[in-house]
Amino acid sequence: MDYKDTKAAISTVTYDRNEVEAPTKNIYQAISIIAKRAEQINSDLKIELVDKLDEFATYNDSLEEVFENKEQIEVSKYYERLPKPTALAVEEWLKGKVYFRTPDSE
């Protein structure tokens, strides 16, 4: 999924409790599902960031040669400006893009 083209809030937002719990009829279950989705998003973003930063990696044993790579800094700043994984997960949840199921229901 492309997390860069999202309309998720970058800062803190207050959500309507009834809107969040509407799909499950249980606020705790809804928050648990959102939290699990946020972990998945965080994992995806971390893997993507590490892959991009590995392109700039230099394997050198000497501590004397420490230099800054502007491209690496720009990539890091870009990922820092993205919305937090929890905000992305809440946005997906409110738009109905998160699939969930309970094993005890049919």
CA distance 11 to 84: 9
Per the structure, the count of domains in the chain is 1
Decide: 52 and 69 in contact? Cβ < 8 Å.
no
Tell me 84's DSSP state: P
Q: Which regions of 1-106 does DSSP assign to beta strands (E)?
A: none
Residue 85 lies in a domain: yes
pLDDT of residue 91: 92
pLDDT for res 67:
61
Report the distance separating Cα 62 and Cα 36, nearest Å: 41
- CB contact at 8 A, 3 and 44: yes
pTM, whole model, 2 decimals?
0.80
User: Residue 78's domain spans which residues?
Assistant: 17-58+67-94
Percent of the chain at pLDDT exceeding 70: 84
Q: What digits encode the pLDDT tens for the residues 25-54?
A: 999 999 999 999 999 999 999 999 888 888
Q: Identify the H or E element spanning 25.
A: none
In a domain, 3, yes or no: no
